[in-house]
């Protein structure tokens, strides 16, 4: 039954047989109920969790129509709960304390550790008590800048336990980015680690964090404590250090502690702080709409937005999407490769799995270290049944062919998830046939930092999938496609992807800037939450997300705004103006193509190019390093001064078919830009 990339793949039988939702009829029935009677649907789900106090007001209340007043979303008014209690105490009290929560797998295969729910509860309480003793109270913001180690999970749960708000900053961000986020959140405590090996590369987290703390100090934001995990002492250093940062003492544990700078009065070693501290700490009972965490995501103005999620709705949504999208069962071993520093890690490494009492793999390393079969080796080692990764990783591993996968018995796999960007059908097919041995269900999950959890996804026991389509909305999510005028596109067609009503896990505000929340997501189409993505609905009702329709780009599944990169570039004194566009990239999905106009008296030299790339690395982070840098004697602007980005996207790929350029103030600039294209493969 082949219709090109509209070929249909039915759910794997072994998944459907035991699935929580095992047919499209059941999906439709549950979906209809979730829209017709959200209170009954989510109220039933809420019964599986501990609420210290039940709902006293409206179960759901909201306004999505900015023309009628302030945008707000509230779920389970009056109820009280604690998400940490639901992730830990609830299971321990049910006799599941000895169950493995995480198999920690280090960057080096020699390093591995097992941690149970019972052990985590004790450690979480100790850290919660340490934070309380430092005066951290309900509502205070705690910044977390850590590697993928169990202490990161402990830190976030400890913060949640005492009702404080965690703001996790991915360990690949630069000191400037960390400082920006700490300042915006007015964080009073930072939790970090000495350093971490990522593949053969050393990331000196504490050194970077110290630079960020200096910036905070200079801006008079008082940080009370920097709590530091001593991690390097316990891990194996890479065999041969490629960048000269290792000890030159292959395969020995690294004694890194004597190398970290120390700020007395501010820095506290984690292991010393928790010694002799009580492992008993009652949870703070939170209103369902109290903040749980904030997580920064790129905004089109260049200043990142602190996406704020609240306790109750996020809890229900993280738990429910995890259960249904991965069709989780108690004997599963689940492995999500995302870093906790991104939303995928928040919802599908920590909260979703733990709320379901799941057993997961927590992986510190990278897919290609020490060899290109590392993922498959880990899957075999722990008999992983549910696996969740990103198209960029799939494409990177695909390049090495089938043999590195086939070397390992990974037949335990039954559900394979994908997230971060549209997955191209070739990568989908390889994932399905080679990794899944054509005996799995694939879940291409569409969602955003803002949505808290999956909003469009197949269910692995129910949905016949089409490679490249995220298929159908999750329970409680009402999808619409709108045209430029805001008119709804019904049936087959393409338009702006929007949602008509809130589901429990949607963000509630932009931290400290509710107006920005309203204008970013609700202003364009009153009555709808606007994703910023475009989508197509096919004749069978399948949704195909086509990508961003704003000035955002998606590098390896990470959103960046062009404005963010441009503002980093123009900080260099040699740069007068810059414009950044996305260029398709075989592995990353998209990469950065930068045009720079130089200030008088500067030359576009190799040295300048290196400086400009470094500027972006230090302002944002290494993952944002531009792939292309081109001199632009001028930029293609309309008479009103707006840069015509589609022209720049065409020049970036060497395509002269740029359509109508008659509205440009100076159309001849397009040919000039063509002349200045860098040679292929060269930055």
Phi, psi for 235 (deg, rounded to 5): -120, 160
Cβ proximity to ligand WT7, 341 vs 626, nearer residue: 341
CB of 15 to ligand WT7, least distance (A): 19
Q: Is 173 in the site for ligand WT7 (CB under 6 A)?
A: no
Give dist(CA 46, CA 587) in Å, integer: 41
How many whole angstroms separate alpha carbon 263 and alpha carbon 48?
A: 46
Per CB under 6 A, does 590 bind ligand WT7?
no
Give the residue from 251, 225, 227 showing the smallest Cα distance to 237. 251
Residues 419-438 that bind ligand WT7 (CB under 6 A): 419-422
- If binding is defined by CB under 6 A, does position 543 make contact with ligand WT7? no
Contact 279/125 with Cβ under 8 angstroms?
Answer: yes
Instruction: Kindly tell me which of 129 and 531 has the beta carbon lying closer to ligand WT7.
Output: 531
**Locus of tokens 């890479």:** 238
| Residues in region 615-634 near ligand WT7 by CB under 6 A | none
Of 99, 236, 439, 448, the one binding ligand WT7 (CB under 6 A) is: 448
**Distance between CA 344 and CA 91 in Å, rounded?**
23
Alpha helices in 47-162 (DSSP H): 83-87, 89-91, 117-133, 150-161
Nearest residue (CB) to ligand WT7, 118 versus 547: 547
Fill in the per-residue mask, 490 to 519: x = in contact with ligand WT7 (CB under 6 A), - = not in contact. ------------------------------
Q: Contact region for ligand WT7 (CB under 6 A) — 158-166, 377-385, 407-415, 546-554?
A: 546-554
Strand segments, DSSP code E, in 599-648 are 628-631
Binding to ligand WT7 by CB under 6 A, coded x per residue (else -) over 84-113, reads ------------------------------
Q: State the chain's maximal CA–CA distance in angstroms.
A: 74
Contacts of 679 (CB under 8 A, 6+ apart): none
Are the CB atoms for 469 and 478 separated by under 8 Å? no
CB closer to ligand WT7, 320 vs 449:
449
Stretch that binds ligand WT7, among 138-146, 166-174, 227-235, 415-423 (CB under 6 A): 415-423
3-state secondary structure of 130: helix
Query: Which string of x and - marks every residue 37-56 that binds ligand WT7 (by CB under 6 A)?
Result: --------------------
> Judged by CB, which is closer to ligand WT7: 436, or 532?
532
**In sequence order, which ranges of 507-630 are alpha helices (DSSP H)?**
514-521, 562-570, 606-619
Pattern of binders to ligand WT7 over 557-586, x per CB under 6 A? xxx---------------------------
Can you say whether the dihedral through the CA atoms of 162, 87, 346, 409 is positive or negative? Answer: positive
Sites for ligand WT7 among residues 297-316 (CB under 6 A): 297
Residue-level length of the chain:
683
Is residue 318 a contact partner of residue 340, using CB atoms and an 8 Å limit? no
With CB under 6 A as the contact rule, the residue among 192, 226, 288, 449 that binds ligand WT7 is 449
What ranges in 284-387 are assigned the alpha helix state H?
311-325, 343-345, 352-355, 374-382
Of 117-125, 269-277, 521-529, 541-549, the window that binds ligand WT7 (rule: CB under 6 A) is 541-549
357: tokens are 């009492």
Q: What is the bridge-based pairing of β-strands 333-336 and 386-389?
A: parallel
The region of 88-96, 318-326, 531-539, 616-624 touching ligand WT7 under the rule CB under 6 A is 531-539
CB of 307 to ligand WT7, least distance (A): 8
If one asks whether residue 444 binds ligand WT7 (CB under 6 A), the answer comes out as yes
Nearer to ligand WT7, 238 or 460 (CB): 460
One symbol per residue from 342 to 381: x for binding ligand WT7 (CB under 6 A), - otherwise; what is it? -xx-------------------------------------
- Residue 229 burial (CB < 10 Å; 0-12/13-18/19+)? buried
Q: How far is the CB of 457 from ligand WT7 (least distance, A)?
A: 8
Nearer to ligand WT7 among residue 451 and residue 630 (C-beta): 451
- Of 185, 470, 480, 530, the one binding ligand WT7 (CB under 6 A) is 470
Q: Which is nearer to ligand WT7, 27 or 447 (CB)?
A: 447
Residue 460 phi, psi (nearest 5): -65, -20
Residue 551 binds ligand WT7, judged by CB under 6 A = no
Min dist. Cβ of residue 430 to ligand WT7 (A): 16
Return the number of other C-beta atoms located less than 10 Å from residue 17's C-beta.
10
CA-CA-CA-CA torsion for 69, 73, 75, 81, nearest 10 degrees? -120
Q: Which is nearer to ligand WT7, 373 or 391 (CB)?
A: 391
Write down the least CB distance from residue 391 to ligand WT7, Å. Answer: 8
Report which residue's Cβ sits closest to ligand WT7: 449
CA–CA distance, 305 with 522 (Å, rounded to integer): 15
Q: What's 263's DSSP letter?
A: -
Name the pairing type of β-strands 479-482 and 441-445: unpaired
| Tokens of residue 144, six digits | 């977390």
Cα-to-chain-centroid distance, residue 645: 27
Give the binding range for ligand WT7 (CB under 6 A) out of 210-218, 459-467, 487-495, 550-558. Answer: 550-558
Q: What is the DSSP letter of 624?
A: G
Which one of 177, 554, 562, 564 is in contact with ligand WT7 (CB under 6 A)? 554
Using CB under 6 A as the binding criterion, the count of chain residues that bind ligand WT7 stands at 24
Q: Does 445 bind ligand WT7 (CB under 6 A)?
A: yes
The answer to whether the Cα torsion of 24, 338, 125, 333 is positive or negative is positive
Angle formed at CA 420 by CA 408 and CA 407, multiple of 5 degrees: 10
Q: Say whether residue 5 binds ligand WT7 (CB under 6 A).
A: no
Name the minimum Å distance from CB 470 to ligand WT7.
Answer: 5
Binding stretches for ligand WT7 (CB under 6 A): 297, 343-344, 419-422, 444-449, 470, 531-533, 545, 547-548, 554, 557-559
């Amino acid at each position: 039954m082949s219709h090109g990339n509209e070929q249909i793949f039915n759910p794997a039988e072994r998944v459907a047989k035991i699935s929580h939702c095992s047919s499209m009829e059941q999906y439709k029935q549950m979906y209809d109920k979730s829209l017709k009677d959200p209170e009954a649907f989510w109220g039933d789900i809420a019964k599986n969790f501990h609420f210290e106090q039940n709902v006293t007001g409206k179960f759901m209340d909201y306004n999505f129509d900015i023309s009628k007043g302030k945008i707000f979303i509230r779920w389970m008014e009056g109820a009280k709960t604690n998400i940490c209690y639901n992730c830990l105490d609830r299971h321990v009290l049910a006799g599941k304390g000895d169950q493995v929560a995480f198999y920690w797998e280090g960057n080096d295969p020699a390093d591995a550790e097992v941690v149970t729910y019972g052990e985590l509860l004790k450690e979480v309480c100790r850290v919660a008590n340490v934070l309380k003793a430092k005066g951290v109270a309900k509502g205070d913001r705690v910044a977390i800048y850590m590697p993928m180690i169990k202490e990161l999970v402990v830190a976030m749960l400890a913060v949640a336990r005492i009702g404080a708000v965690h703001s996790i900053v991915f360990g690949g961000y630069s000191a400037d980015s960390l400082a920006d986020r700490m300042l915006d959140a007015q964080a009073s405590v930072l939790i970090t680690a000495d350093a971490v090996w990522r593949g053969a590369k050393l990331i000196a987290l504490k050194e970077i964090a110290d630079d960020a703390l200096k910036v905070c100090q200079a801006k008079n934001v008082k940080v009370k404590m920097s709590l530091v995990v001593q991690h390097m002492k316990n891990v194996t250093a890479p065999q041969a250090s490629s960048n000269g940062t290792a000890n030159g003492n292959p395969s020995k544990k690294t004694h890194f502690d004597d190398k970290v700078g120390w700020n007395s009065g501010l820095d506290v070693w984690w292991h010393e702080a928790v010694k002799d501290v009580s492992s008993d700490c009652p949870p703070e009972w939170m209103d369902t709409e109290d903040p749980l965490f904030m997580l920064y995501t790129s905004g089109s103005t260049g200043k990142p937005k602190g996406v704020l999620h609240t306790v109750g709705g996020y809890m229900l949504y993280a738990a429910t999407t995890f259960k249904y999208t991965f069709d989780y069962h108690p004997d599963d071993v689940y492995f999500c490769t995302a870093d906790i520093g991104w939303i995928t890690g928040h919802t599908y490494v920590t909260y979703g799995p733990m709320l379901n009492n799941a057993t997961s793999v927590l992986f510190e390393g990278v897919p290609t270290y020490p060899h290109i079969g590392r993922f498959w080796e880990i899957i075999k080692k722990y008999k992983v049944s549910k696996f969740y990764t990103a198209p960029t990783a799939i494409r990177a591993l695909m390049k090495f062919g089938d043999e590195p996968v086939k070397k390992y018995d990974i037949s335990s796999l039954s559900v394979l998830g994908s997230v971060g960007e549209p997955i191209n059908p070739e990568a989908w097919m390889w994932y399905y046939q080679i990794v899944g041995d054509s005996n799995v269900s694939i879940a291409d999950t569409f969602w955003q930092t803002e949505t808290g959890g999956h909003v469009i996804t197949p269910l692995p026991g129910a949905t016949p999938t089409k490679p490249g389509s995220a298929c159908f909305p999750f329970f409680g999510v009402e999808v619409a496609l709108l045209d430029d005028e805001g008119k709804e596109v019904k049936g087959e067609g393409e338009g702006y992807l929007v949602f008509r009503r809130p589901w429990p896990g949607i963000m509630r505000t932009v931290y400290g800037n509710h107006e920005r929340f309203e204008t970013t997501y609700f202003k364009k189409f009153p009555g709808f939450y606007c994703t910023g993505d475009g989508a197509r609905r096919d004749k069978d009702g399948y949704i195909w997300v086509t990508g961003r329709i704003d000035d955002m780009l998606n590098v390896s599944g990470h959103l960046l705004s062009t404005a963010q990169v441009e503002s980093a570039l123009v900080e260099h004194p040699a740069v007068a103006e810059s414009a950044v566009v996305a260029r398709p990239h075989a592995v990353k999905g998209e990469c950065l193509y930068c045009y720079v106009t130089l200030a008088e008296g500067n030359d576009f030299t190799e040295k300048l190019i290196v400086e400009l790339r470094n500027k972006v690395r230090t302002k944002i982070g290494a993952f944002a390093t531009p792939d292309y840098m081109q001199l632009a004697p001028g930029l293609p602007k309309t008479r009103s001064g707006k840069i015509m980005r589609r022209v720049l996207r065409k020049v970036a790929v060497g395509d002269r078919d740029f359509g109508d350029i008659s509205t440009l103030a100076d159309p001849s600039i397009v040919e000039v830009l063509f002349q200045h294209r860098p040679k292929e493969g060269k930055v």
